[in-house]
């Protein structure tokens, strides 16, 4: 009896220590990263509860095991056999029924949280999301805007209607907690109410090919005012751009996801910047150089692996675009020519 009391106390102490240890590294109540959405709360609560149960179960196994190893160790010179047991029905019923109850309770809590996460706000607005190797594109159907950055107003629910053009991807913003697969051939929905303003990143959470790691785009959560200003600016840009070849090239670059990998201001993204690209002497991976002209750019788009830029990997992280029309390519080139 005395052993049970000691083990019981040790199990409780160990559970508390384990739980606070997990919490200290950001795996329990104090979850990392910060909470950025209304949907995160119920997920974090459920997680915290699971961590409490896990800490207890871990201790329930490890403490009696270590205690037995130490306290019931065979004494020196004792060569007698161990005691013979026939089993213990009460114990067996106990360790069947108790876990069953725990699992059923967690199934209920899990279903409840899922309901909370999917709760529909009838005022929610829609953004269409396209996932492709290896970039995200966002379309605002109400305004006819296409962007490689997702701008959202804080504290308003948005429904992302997500489609993939090639393989399975997964939309994941760690601060928002919710994660959803994007599957070719069907539209999956992702509801979120961002609460924290700032810059975030969507990452692809489904290994989708060579440059899966690079499949991240900027997400900006702002005030309603800044969001409306951004929408107005994007609409104006789109309207004026459509009137010139270079303007159309700019829109195409967003639509095809080029701008998710190529910056226009000199900053490095997954691919080389387009700033000052046209006419420059480009160093290639094999040590040779090439002058960037129409033919080279066309080849880079249709067959990215033909010539790979120095400092990048072979095979190229860039997907081939063999279906672009000559007019689309010449518009993109016209746009690149303006970037100097
Ligand atoms: Cu992906």
- DSSP letter string over 204-257? E-S--STTGGG-EEEEEEE-HHHHHHHHHHHHHHHHHHTTSHHHHHHHHHHHTT
Tokens of 110: 């899990």
> How many structural domains compose the chain?
3
How do residues 115-147 score in pLDDT, each as one tens digit?
Answer: 999 999 999 999 999 999 888 999 999 998 898
**Dist. CA 136 → ligand 1 center (Å):** 9
User: Do 111 and 7 belong together in one domain?
Assistant: yes
User: What does the alpha-carbon distance between residue 180 and residue 170 come to, in Å, rounded to a whole number?
Assistant: 5
**Dist. CA 129 → ligand 1 center (Å):** 13
User: Do 135 and 226 belong together in one domain?
Assistant: yes
**Dist. CA 208 → ligand 1 center (Å):** 5
Q: Which domain holds residue 271?
A: 242-337
**Dist. CA 291 → ligand 1 center (Å):** 33
Distance of CA 288 to the CA centre of its chain: 38
User: Do 191 and 213 belong together in one domain?
Assistant: yes
**Dist. CA 200 → ligand 1 center (Å):** 17
User: What does the alpha-carbon distance between residue 77 and residue 118 come to, in Å, rounded to a whole number?
Assistant: 66
Q: Are 121 and 47 in contact (CB under 8 A)?
A: no
User: Do 283 and 313 belong together in one domain?
Assistant: yes
**Dist. CA 76 → ligand 1 center (Å):** 62
- Domain end marker among 235, 259, 285: 235
Q: Are 145 and 139 in contact (CB under 8 A)?
A: yes
Against a cut of 0.75, is the pTM above it?
A: yes
Q: Is the pLDDT of residue 273 over 90?
A: yes
**Dist. CA 292 → ligand 1 center (Å):** 30
User: Do 260 and 326 belong together in one domain?
Assistant: yes
**Dist. CA 102 → ligand 1 center (Å):** 36
pLDDT the model gives residue 74: 87
User: What does the alpha-carbon distance between residue 287 and residue 68 come to, in Å, rounded to a whole number?
Assistant: 67
pLDDT the model gives residue 32: 83
Query: Do the strands 145-147 and 179-182 form a parallel or antiparallel pair, or are they unpaired?
Result: unpaired
């Amino acid at each position: 009896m005395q052993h049970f009391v000691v083990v019981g106390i040790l199990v409780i102490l160990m559970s508390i220590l384990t739980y606070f240890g997990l919490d200290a590294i950001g795996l329990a109540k104090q979850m990392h990263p910060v909470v950025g959405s209304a949907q995160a709360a119920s997920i974090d609560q459920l997680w915290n509860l699971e961590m409490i149960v896990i800490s207890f179960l871990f201790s329930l196994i490890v403490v009696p095991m270590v205690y037995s190893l130490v306290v019931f160790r065979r004494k020196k010179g004792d060569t007698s056999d161990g005691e013979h047991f026939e089993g213990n029905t009460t114990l067996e019923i106990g360790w069947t029924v108790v876990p069953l109850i725990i699992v059923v309770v967690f199934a209920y809590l899990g279903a409840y949280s899922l309901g909370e996460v999917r709760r529909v706000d009838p005022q929610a607005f829609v953004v269409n999301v396209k996932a492709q190797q290896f970039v995200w594109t966002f379309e605002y159907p109400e305004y006819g805007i296409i962007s490689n950055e997702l701008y959202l107003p804080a504290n308003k629910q948005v429904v992302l209607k997500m489609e993939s053009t090639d393989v399975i991807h997964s939309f994941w913003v760690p601060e928002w907690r919710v994660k959803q697969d994007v599957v070719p051939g069907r539209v999956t929905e992702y509801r979120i109410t961002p609460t924290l303003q700032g810059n975030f990143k969507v990452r692809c959470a489904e290994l989708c090919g060579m440059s899966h790691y690079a499949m991240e785009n900027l997400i900006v959560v702002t005030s309603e005012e800044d969001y409306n200003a951004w929408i107005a600016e994007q609409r104006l840009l789109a309207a004026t751009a459509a009137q010139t070849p270079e303007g159309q090239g700019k829109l195409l670059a967003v639509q095809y996801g080029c701008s998710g990998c190529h910056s226009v201001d000199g900053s490095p993204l997954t691919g080389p910047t387009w700033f000052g690209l046209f006419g420059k002497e480009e160093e290639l991976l094999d040590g040779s150089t090439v002058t960037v002209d129409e033919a080279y750019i066309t080849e880079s788009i249709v067959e990215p692996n033909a010539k790979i830029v120095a400092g990048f990997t072979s095979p190229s992280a860039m997907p081939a675009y063999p279906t672009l029309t000559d007019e689309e390519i010449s518009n993109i080139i016209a746009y690149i020519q303006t970037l100097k």
